[in-house]
Amino acid sequence: MADKTERGHMDHIKAADLGAGLRGKMHRPIKIVMLGAGSEFTLKLINDVLKIPGSQGGEIALVDIDTNRLKTMHKLIRKLVALNEQGDMWRVDASTKCREVLGDADYIVNCIEVSGIDCVRFDYDIPLEYGIDQCIGDTIGPGGLFKGLRTIPVFLDILRDCEELCSDALVLNYTNPMSMMCITSSRAGSMQVFGMCHSVQGTSRLLAKRAGVPFEEMTWECAGINHLAWFTKLEHKGRDLYPILMEKAKQDLYGKSVDPDDAADLVRKDMMLNFGAFITESSGHLSEYLPYYRTKKGIKEKYCGSEYDGGSGFYARDWPEWRKRADEDREKMLKGEESIEWKRSWEYASWIIEAREKDNQFRVHTNVMNNHRGAGPLIKNLPYNGCVEVACMVDRNGIHPTVYGNLPPQMAAICRSHMGAYELAAIAVTEKSKEAAIHSLMLDPLTSAVCCPSEIREMALKLFEAEKDYLPDYG
């Protein structure tokens, strides 16, 4: 558990702060560069920034190699700025060349996607031939590894430009595979890279609702690795909420629930009952992180639902259609046929920017190295050179991770089962090593639960061959 002094410090920042702006006025105009501006994140993240009270405006630079999506997003962001009556405060630029707009940036928000549409079927179909059944497959396993092999080198090139043109900028990374991206970037240069995920925010609200308590009154602690962080403390006015959640989970798992909605998310509920705490990532994606739920037909049918709740090939099948619909929706937004008026969300980017620019302490949970800037370990019983997800405090000096301490041993062991695979993935990227990539898959919990090492090697080589045009440096 976290030290008492840190726990008190963390609890000082109320969850209710996410409903209103922090105190004061931002003291200067800022520059934000959105990489992968065609991403689904861009509109909402920029809307959040425009909702910061006391903003002094500045510059928003959009970057994407897809000229059609970039052009559409440029028009939409300018329309959004005008709608928020800030047209005289913000300059909005767009470019297909990152170096053209990086100069003097304060914040780099990374949402790039590299060859995903071209490779998503390879990432799913080839592993399935070997019995590896993925639902999402973009952060771990064969799909996550090969997405990392394609994506991380592009990100590292961008970071090298950042070191030259905007070395003091904070880099907020939204691109998966999160842990691999953060590990590799931390070792390749000097930029401050923080991994942004919304699993902690979303799950904490879900648990408050499920326990029947106001979210702003709940006290909690959460730590681990991305998509495998554990809510080790959940209290309401000093009362432990886990007995309520455990009893409800038993009802849902054993067929006594009266609410049909509670029939979903069963993997997380089963893990909570057996390991002692709730995990941040939703059940469909979480089932890929574990060796328990996607190997036997009967178990999979019991615990894994359809679509995002665990459906086979959900991401590979539906993602191209999501992109198509997103493009259609954006055209409707430009024509005024669909609203672009949104409330400020609880995605962390705008809250980090506001807290830093106003010098108001604010708590977030981000992905950072366990030995962040030579300190740590932040989680004492996880590998010192790995990436962890912990509470961090934000002020004018940046983002400051807090030391959590020791995770309960069974929870730490689940996290460690992935961290070795991520380490080898980072080596594969930096050394362009097929062998390290193959070894990474041999350590992946789901892959190793299904295949023997020789099968894993054969599958990996088949993936390399199928994606050779996108991975030219691997020979």
- Catalytic residues, by residue number, are 198
Q: Tokens 């990996």 identify what position?
A: 460
Inter-CA distances, 107 with 117, 154, 241, 282, Å: 27, 18, 38, 29
Which residue from 366, 410, 406, 367 is spatially nearest to 2, judged by alpha carbons? 406
Helices vs. strands in the chain: H and E counts, helices first:
17, 13
* Partner residues linked to 31 by β-bridges: 59
Inter-CA distances, 232 with 11, 223, 225, 251, 252, Å: 14, 8, 13, 22, 21
Helix (H) or strand (E) holding 95: strand 90-95
Helix (H) or strand (E) holding 172: strand 170-173
Judge whether 127 and 459 are in contact, CB under 8 Å.
yes
Interatomic CA distance for residues 451 and 42, integer angstroms: 39
> 3-class DSSP state for residue 453?
helix
Judge whether 252 and 266 are in contact, CB under 8 Å.
yes
Judge whether 295 and 132 are in contact, CB under 8 Å.
no
Inter-CA distances, 271 with 1, 138, 243, 396, 462, Å: 19, 22, 15, 39, 34
Interatomic CA distance for residues 448 and 156, integer angstroms: 29
Tokens describing residue 104: 């003097």
Interatomic CA distance for residues 249 and 253, integer angstroms: 6
Q: Tokens 């993997």 identify what position?
A: 267
- CA 146 vs. chain centroid, Å, equals 17
- CA 331 vs. chain centroid, Å, equals 27
> 3-class DSSP state for residue 397?
coil
Q: Is the peptide bond before 177 cis (omega within 30 degrees of 0)?
A: yes
Inter-CA distances, 444 with 14, 177, 263, 321, 466, Å: 37, 14, 28, 29, 21
The residue type of 249 is A
